Structure 1
Amino acid sequence: MSKNSLEERLAELEMRLAFQDELINTLSDQVAKQEMDIRELWDAKKMLHKQLKDISPSNIRREEEETPPPHY
């Protein structure tokens, strides 16, 4: 192998490494953002679940509203 060929290969490897480092940083930032989004969505889901539970009537009557069974 010639010295020029080795230098070209080294330069190409350095460019690839720089590109991969940039890509890894971009992906890491994206994963962190998505994790925050997921946390916000879970919090919103919990809040909506609580609100729905508070406004929807239960199909089960409270004990004082129940009529006694016929055998009493």
Structure 2
Amino acid sequence: MAAFDTTRTTYGSTGLFGRIGIAFVALASSVMAWNDARTSKNALNALSDRELADIGLSRANIEDIATGKPVF
């Protein structure tokens, strides 16, 4: 005799707590990305123009570098 288990969810579907967990992880990763960009901007802004030129950057590149956009 075969039994069919109807208490499990199908593959790939999540229940309410799974969706809440996914939303929490997405929120936490967004906050971490924002904080990383903020920290990078602050560190690059603390450098002098000469130091930025030594590493091949200018003040105009700081925002792009902090957000992960390609500069070159």
TM-score, normalised on structure 2? 0.49
Q: Which has the higher helix share?
A: 1
**Rg larger in structure:** 1
Q: Which has the higher contact order (CA 8 A, sep 6+)?
A: 2
